[in-house]
Amino acid sequence: MFMPSTSKGCKKRGEEISPTREGSSNSSQVIESSIECIDLESSLPDKQTAINMQPTGTKKQQEDSPSREHQKSIENHSNKEMEKNIEKTSRDLEKGQLEMSHKRKNKDEYDEVMEKYESGGGGGGGGGGGRRSADNKGKEGKGQGNSSSHKLYKKVTPRKSPKKSTQMEKNGHEKCKEASNLRSILASAAERRIKATVPSSSKAVSSTHQLSPDLFEDEDTDNRTKMGEQEVHWRGSPLSSLTTLSSTNLNLPSVSPSPTHTVMVKLPLSTSGPALPHPTSYTDVWDQHHVRMPCSPRSQYPLSKNSDVIVSRWSVICQALCRDMSSVEDFQKVVLEYNTRYASKWKFRGLQYLLERELEEEESEHFFHNTLPAIASLALRLPQLVTQAPPLLTKHTTHSVTFSQLQIASLLANAFFCTFPRRNAKGSETEYASYPDINFNRLFFHKEKRALEKLKCIINYFRRITIKEPTGNVTFTRQHISTSDLPSWLSCTNHLPRLHVDTVGLIEEAEGLLQVDFANKFLGGGVLGLGCVQEEIRFVLSPELLISRLFTQVLDNTEALIITGVEQFNSGNGYSSTFIWGGSCQDTTPRDLWGRRLCQVTAIDALHFTKQPQIQYRESFIKRELNKAYAGFRVLDKSTGAPIAVATGNWGCGAFRGNPRLKALIQLAACAYVGRDLAYFTFGDEKLRDDLVTMYIFLKENNVTVGALVQVLNQHGARGWGDGSDFFQYIYHSLRAYDSDTDSETTTTTKPLESDVPVSTHNSRGCPRVISDYFKRSGPSTSRSSSSSSSTSHKNPQSKPLPQSSYVTEGGAAIKDSLSEEKILQVLSECDRLIEGQKSKDKMSAECFSTSDDKHVRDACDRVLSKGEKRDNQGKEGMRRDEKKNKVLQSTGEPSRLLSVLDEIDTEVS
């Protein structure tokens, strides 16, 4: 699977050119006999050959020809010679003196010559070619008439000889068969040793916490263990083994008023219906630390465009929303009545296109007659539902706000009617320049398909909550990590947690996990515009997330927003321009003691690397992303229960041009630091899934800590020229050297290396690595203390502990086997590389041996005209040539040598 085997295909091709012993014997007899006939024909005098090449006359002339009797004597003599050769060939086969490869060469060589000979390229041998065909037909039809003689002996127009020799095809088949044999021996021997070294009394994992299918499972393995009719799409630990939110594991802080937690509802919560607001009556606050509410008496507005009379803006809003709205034009007039300065800028053509062209007439009528008036009524209830101004979640603060779902609905209804003051002005000097926009006017403008589909989601949300009021609560927490509280990544000794990697499924479908929102630093990104990627889609599927734009200032480098209790109202399909509303979603997620859905979302923003993606490997940027992930993954203060797993994916890897493999390791390291498991969704990328699990197994089997992993990430970026193409390969080589150094110590230490990790694809002599290098440790490190060196200098380097392959247990620990699956996969890959290199060498050699067509035909005719002794010499010479061609392959990847390496491993382990 990590390296699909090609042995099956090679075997089939080999079978096509490798007949059974019995079939090959018969074929060889025919070939040998036919060659003898050609020898006899070619030995005829030139005069006789000239007679045979002349056009035939009438039947009577043919019968009176004096050469008829002579020709019969030749045929009788040839038949006797054929019988002798058949007997000789049979004796040779019985004694085992002829090899299958030799016979195939004779057949290929003969077919090549006869093809050229019959096409006229053989000069004087053309008659012999015709006679060979006549003999074959005589055997099959048991008779040959004059018509046959006429057809066989007529002169053939010369053709151009074939461009490619069958010798090249034969070499390809043989090399493919060698590759098949080599890979089969490797895979079977490695699997046999792995199975043999696992004690029967100990299981790698429990039945409910097994690893994904065996890394050696291959499509062409007949005796493989099937994992069911349905193809397995995940690798690593099962999703069910990860810690989740549940009634027995409420890994959440409680809802209680405090200086760092503003509760907008009355406690204790009501057992029936929506939670009552707190305080009971509206209390106005109008300052830079709170949301400026539309219903505030301090929000004022001029009575008319040129009037100096100032009135309460909320009164203007109430009058406008009480009017009848039966069309988009009416709706637009209402909105612009208290936003007069934008009358020439705001156009609601997108909303108009949706309601007049996209939706059915009945749906449009229902919207104008039912849904829109209900939204207006909900907006006007704002002073009764939200009785205090919510605090702004500003930079460098950690604060939480808890709303009822009905309060969020009323606030969003006001955003729908664009009532929030001071939120429309743009510019770096405006009051809310560092906040996302909240009024929906931009969403109403765009007619693009994705914008219309987002509008459908929002309209469906309002339709549902106006028909049946929601009764739950939602908490928004801005988490800031101060500089003094940031992790010391290089000194972290935590080991990696459990990892689940899946190609199907979505983050929002991972129930009970901490779901990552690939956020913009301005929460929601382009959700109210044309943006329609991961964050924007998540916000319209759960529109309650939109309200975070009202009070959340732009996120800093060590900050995240965690939302607890959000409900999903819509389902969707597609992505970006292909996104469509998938209908209404009935969220059945259970609630906690405070009426919040057991769903937690963390919004973390990745860095932009659109213009210079290569700089993302620098240490400063890696540290920034680590700190950002830590801010989003750290368990909230006063939380109870065990930390739940994180559900994430290719964070910052779309338009931001991040490397998904780098981002995956960063998130894995952050999860390890805070003690969370990780579920990673690759969104259909199977190669990424397999690469991540391969790397994860490698890290686990070498007991790599968070500090060691972060250090090698920094060292990779310190080179300054890497583009990420060798990212994983660098880690493999670097951590092998690190692991070799740690093995030379007498005591186990978890402190990461302080010196640079050497990286090379060559051994100490400057030669390329061979297959056996993957099974051997490096010598003792010279960078350790003198006491450590002295304790290991007298030992044989090959007697060091071998790399252990690991399986993830329920507790995240690794159960080790004697042979690394990763090493075996690398061996198989190395075999492919060696064989491909040998193929190219053979091809170059064959091109050097090739000559012009005429010379090639003359040489082939000489080989055909030679006697039996000369053919035997050619057979021996051919076998010597094969041995010479296989010399490089045998010296670097001989199966017996590989098996001996595996035997050495067994000996060392025992």
**Full 3-state SS string of 666-722:** HHHHHHHHHCCCEEEECCCCHHHHHHHHHHHHHHHHCCCEHHHHHHHHHHHHHCCCC
Catalytic residues: 517, 535-536
Cα separation of 342 and 72, whole Å?
A: 112
Cα separation of 890 and 541, whole Å?
A: 61
Pull the structure tokens for residue 814. 């690794």
* Parts of the chain with a pLDDT under 50: 1-67, 97-99, 101-103, 105, 110, 113, 116-165, 193-229, 744-819, 849-854, 857, 861, 864-865, 867, 885, 888-896, 909
Evaluate whether 774 touches 904 at the Cβ level (below 8 Å). Answer: no
Evaluate whether 705 touches 492 at the Cβ level (below 8 Å). Answer: yes
Helix 126-141 and helix 21-42: axis angle, to 10°?
Answer: 130
The pLDDT score that the predictor gives to residue 676 is: 98
The pLDDT score that the predictor gives to residue 808 is: 42
Cα separation of 315 and 388, whole Å?
A: 18
285, 372, 542, 599, 657 from 462: Cα distances, Å: 28, 9, 12, 21, 36
The pLDDT score that the predictor gives to residue 390 is: 98
Block residue for tokens 């092998």: 736
Evaluate whether 257 touches 267 at the Cβ level (below 8 Å). Answer: yes
Strands 300-302 and 600-605: unpaired
* Residue numbering of the annotated binding site: 520, 534, 575
Runs of H (alpha helix) within 725-820: 727-743, 786-792
125, 157, 164 from 160: Cα distances, Å: 16, 10, 12
Could you list the beta-strand ranges (E) of 66-169: none
* Residue numbering of the annotated binding site for substrate: 520, 534, 575
Cα separation of 521 and 436, whole Å?
A: 9
CA angle 229, 232, 234 (to 5 degrees): 165
Helix and strand totals (H; E) in the chain: 31, 16
Evaluate whether 784 touches 738 at the Cβ level (below 8 Å). Answer: no
SS3 752: coil
Which residue, 159, 179, 162, 177, is CA-closest to 104? 177
The pLDDT score that the predictor gives to residue 712 is: 96
Cα separation of 736 and 778, whole Å?
A: 9
The pLDDT score that the predictor gives to residue 108 is: 55
The pLDDT score that the predictor gives to residue 615 is: 93
Q: Exposed, middle or buried: residue 537 (CB in 10 Å: 0-12, 13-18, 19+)?
A: buried
Average pLDDT across the chain, whole number: 73
- Residue percentage of the chain with pLDDT more than 70: 56
Write the DSSP string, 464-533: HHHHS----EEEEEEEE--GGGS--GGG--PBP--EEEESSS-GGGSTTSEEEEEE-SSTTTTTTTT--S
SS3 426: coil
CA angle 448, 452, 455 (to 5 degrees): 145
* Secondary-structure breakdown of the chain: helix, strand, coil percentages, each rounded to the nearest 5: 50, 10, 40
CB neighbourhood size of 856 (10 A): 18
SS3 560: strand
- The pTM score is 0.62
Write the DSSP string, 819-848: S-HHHHHHHHHHHHHHHHHHHHHHHHHHHH
- Distance between alpha carbon 790 and the CA centroid of its chain, in Å? 46
Pull the structure tokens for residue 200. 């029967």
The pLDDT score that the predictor gives to residue 521 is: 97
Buried b (16+ CB within 10 A) or exposed e, 880-890: eeeeebbeebe
